Structure 1
């Protein structure tokens, strides 16, 4: 398999990838005893006019393809990685796919693909427009991320930044508020978001699972906020923290929920 190719697995991930016009998929491999699954995939391939091969194999042959124990749900796809553009495209309306870009995320060296995928899933649920990942010391795209994202990776715009500190400075200069999440912060996220207006453009920064946001990253943010929880407890998982933050901003945008 070529470097730019990898396997996507799981129904939601594969179906969403097939529907993505920007995703090239060479072949989809299904278990031969699931006629309903095979029919559904063939319909998507036909509707999207994709030149994707569809193979039916026994379960052992399918699992030998991926060579590891994953929750494939009877379907995998041999796919090409997306063309991930530099975050500067966000500032260029002519190049940006979405003109009404209001909320985004920066991931500072996250390395757990399940956490990254879960953040994508929550981002889609609560209307976050894009995610910026660092080009080094992180994972941008693989099968585990796409499986955990349950299809959201194909619909949330992904960008890359070579230097997160510089990216934050550029967002601020372009009129964005940048809020870093840190469990030791004295300000809480609810209080800070209440100060915002619905028209404000906001980027949230989440740090790595073990170390959190790096010192220089914190220094460059407009605000550093935490999520209140029960005293003398450990900080919550980064993907759970992201879901809470996204819901807070979703409530601000949907006043009927307040």
Structure 2
């Protein structure tokens, strides 16, 4: 650690001796301009392991600092020791912070140029629930996707809820945000990607759909699915066949199954 932990009974201070102000709510889809609060063991550990993440300060209990050190996490920011009750006041009600809150800058804004060497990309067309998107990020990391793509609007901002739901995956995968999903698909088609939109009325199952050497899988929000203009841009529609009595899946579950099938088809 670069600074000796200190205990404070008041609100923690941020960099440049400015008073700490808990980030407030923002309009959905608008990326934060100031610091974000990342909490929970896996989320904080992953943030310390991400070279692209600018970290500011760690607020933690003594036990939490010990847990991080036991996991060989290099704590390279000032540490302010806080009691669990003090930490509770820094985050929303019922937030499971596990004794640690990391104040950090949002991740860099990644664009489509980050995908030049990718083979498997998962795109989400207006999936707005941060819990779903966080769970999908975890699955994308677990199944070796190269990136996840969302729109700048009508998608969750990078914040505490998304980061906690992703359980570290937010700092393990490129999160590309695009202004226009249809235009993004056109760009990927021009770069030789096969773009496949999941649709319950698709002409063939995903298993029976032809994949190229590099593929974009497009999933839409529950209920309305992938928007018509985005489906048209993809050109390829495929369905997930469910043999049981329930014929549809939650979007996060559909993402897991789609990624698994895609890996088999791509020979990854």
TM class by smaller structure: 0.7 to 0.9
Residue 242 (1) aligns with residue 255 (2): yes
Residue 122 (1) aligns with residue 170 (2): no
TM-score when normalising by structure 2: 0.82
Per-residue displacement from partner, 1:25-79 (whole Å, max 9, x unpaired)? 211122234463253478412xxxx3x1122211110010113211222221111
SS in 2 for 1:235: coil
Structure 1 equivalent of residue 16 of structure 2 = none
8 Å Cα contact 1:42/1:54 also seen in 2: no
- Partners of 2:215 and 2:73 lie apart in 1 by 39
Structure 2 equivalent of residue 58 of structure 1 = 83
Structure 2 equivalent of residue 77 of structure 1 = 102
Give structure 1 stretches of 5+ with no counterpart: 92-98
Structure 2 equivalent of residue 228 of structure 1 = 241
SS in 2 for 1:65: coil
Match of 2:52 among 22, 26, 44: 22
1:34/1:76 Cα in 2 relative to 1: closer, same or farther (>3 Å)? Answer: closer
Offset of residue 137 of structure 1: 1.5
1:176/1:253 Cα in 2 relative to 1: closer, same or farther (>3 Å)? Answer: closer
8 Å Cα contact 2:48/2:73 also seen in 1: no
Residue 189 (1) aligns with residue 206 (2): yes
- Partners of 2:203 and 2:245 lie apart in 1 by 15
Offset of residue 114 of structure 1: 0.8
1:37/1:55 Cα in 2 relative to 1: closer, same or farther (>3 Å)? Answer: farther
TM-score when normalising by structure 1: 0.85
Per-residue displacement from partner, 1:87-138 (whole Å, max 9, x unpaired)? 13423xxxxxxx4x21101111111101101111111111100111111111
Structure 2 equivalent of residue 96 of structure 1 = none
SS in 1 for 2:94: coil
Question: What is the aligned-residue RMSD (CA, Å)?
Answer: 2.1
- Partners of 1:35 and 1:28 lie apart in 2 by 9
**Structure with higher strand content:** 1
Structure 2 equivalent of residue 206 of structure 1 = 219
